Amino acid sequence: MTQHLPYAAYPATRMRRNRLHDWRRRLTRETKLSTDDLILAMVVHDGQEARIPVDSMPATFRYSHTEAVAVAQEAESLGIPMIAVFPFIDPALKDAKGSEAFNANGLVPEVIAAMKRAAPNLGLMTDVALDPFTNHGHDGLIDDNGMMLNDPTIEALVAQAILEARAGADVVAPSDMTDGRVGAIRAGLDGAGFQDVAIMSYAAKYASAFYGPYRDAIGSQRALKGDKKTYQMDPGNSDEALHEVALDLHEGADMVMVKPGLAYLDIVRRVKDAFGVPTYAFQVSGEYAMMEAAIANGWLDGERVRMETLTCFKRAGADGIITYWALEAAKRLA
């Protein structure tokens, strides 16, 4: 006959005990988000208007030179370690070769230099890809059939990375997904005397539908001819992400990134577990936009969902998050 324990002895372990009060929850919390985990994603433009709203990204703006400097100073004062800068280029300056990406007096070099002067203790990361600068919206040079050319694109990206480093970028982030670009950029930076400029590679960047609002923000959505499935990763693949990361690390990447973020937290965890290197996730525009739309409609508690989402990246293994919410989160964490 089965011996039944007295009810008072069952259950011996009550998991709720450590959840009963705020102080208990804080003492037993496994994952803690801090300002040190935040990288602010920022779009800049070359006009006079201080802030131009991005229609598909509520509460997000394209910033002028002057406003970008002010935001950099605010980010520095809040303790945010780094800003990732993305440009909105005048369509009149775009061509098939992305020539404006190599203009030493262009938008990106001027804004980076100004931000670095104003906020010298703030890290600045620049995107290395041609899609904001091309009239076809692809990340590199293309042939007559719209296929991106791998090796000629790499030559262009090396020149772009050196230009951005010369302007004051602390980290360059190749987001194009061409094969071999990390090694070429590392060699180019070292050869130009920028051994201390780090590379955060978009190592596992997927051909995702979550990028649409960002393409609106930088003005490449309407220009894009075709899609990017021939060079960005298939969303159904996971093992391939580890192969991509291994290649980029072998070529000299200092940090690696998974993009998008929320729908790919399993990839973040696999990368962190497999390599144990500084691993970052990009909370991309589509993730941001859909949550902000729900917040604006009163369907979600904005403060709670923002902080919960960012914490989820940390729990999955990310060492940091590139996010449009960095300023709001830093204020909340202060």
pLDDT of residue 221: 66
pLDDT bin (cut points 50, 70, 90) of residue 222 is low
pLDDT at 217: 78
* Residue 77 placed within a domain: yes
Q: Looking at the domain assignment, is residue 7 inside a domain?
A: no
CA distance 84 to 173: 9
Q: Which helix (H) or strand (E) holds 82?
A: strand 82-87
Percent of the chain residues past pLDDT 70, beyond the cut:
96
Q: How many C-beta neighbours within 10 Å does residue 254 have?
A: 16
Q: How many domains does the chain have?
A: 1
Residue 17, domain member (yes or no): no
Residue 122 lies in a domain: yes
d(CA 186, CA 170): 13
Q: What predicted TM-score, i.e. pTM, was given to this entire model?
A: 0.93
- Rounded Cα distance, 310 and 314, in Å: 7
166 occurs within a structural domain: yes
How far CA 34 is from CA of 42, 84, 311, 314, 319, in Å, comes to 20, 18, 9, 10, 11
Quick one: average pLDDT of 193-208? 97
The CATH number for 91's domain is: 3.20.20.70
User: Does 80 reside within a domain?
Assistant: yes
* Residue 193: burial class (beta carbons within 10 Å; 0-12, 13-18, 19+): exposed
Pair type for strands 279-282 and 320-323: parallel
- pLDDT at site 224: 75
Question: Going along 236-319, which residue ranges are E strands?
Answer: 255-259, 279-282
3-class DSSP state for residue 313? helix
Can 116 be counted among the known catalytic residues?
no
CA-based nearest residue to 139, from 176, 90, 95, 193: 176
pLDDT confidence bin for 218, thresholds 50/70/90: confident
Whether 2 shows a pLDDT value over 80: the answer reads no
Query: Does an H or E element contain 84, and which?
Result: strand 82-87
SS3 106: coil
> Across residues 28-39, what is the average pLDDT?
96
SS3 174: strand
Spatial contact of 78 and 67, defined as CB atoms under 8 Å apart = no
The structure tokens listed for 3 are: 């011996």
Cβ neighbours of 235 (radius 10 Å): 15
pLDDT value for 309: 96
Q: Supply the DSSP symbol for 298.
A: T
Mean pLDDT of 199-226: 84
Does the annotation mark 205 as catalytic?
Answer: yes
The arithmetic mean of pLDDT across residues 101-124, rounded, is 97
3 state SS of 56: coil
Task: Flag whether pLDDT at 6 surpasses 60.
Answer: no
Average pLDDT across the chain, whole number: 93
Q: Write out the two tokens for 133.
A: 């600068």
- Give me the catalytic one of 205, 228, 272, 314: 205
Say if residue 7's pLDDT is above 80: no
Confirm whether 189 is domain-assigned: yes
User: Pick from 239, 225, 221, 218: which is nearest to 127 by CA?
Assistant: 218
Tell me the Cα Rg of the chain.
22
Q: From the candidates 94, 228, 259, 314, which is the catalytic residue?
A: 259
Residue 25 inside a domain? The answer is: no
The pLDDT > 90 percentage for the chain reads 87
Which tens digit of pLDDT belongs to each residue from 132-153?
999 998 999 999 888 999 999 9
Q: Which residues are CB-contacts of 267 (< 8 A; sequence separation ≥ 6)?
A: 204, 238, 241, 258
In which domain, by residue range, is 238 found? Answer: 31-333
Res. 8 pLDDT band, cuts 50 70 90: low
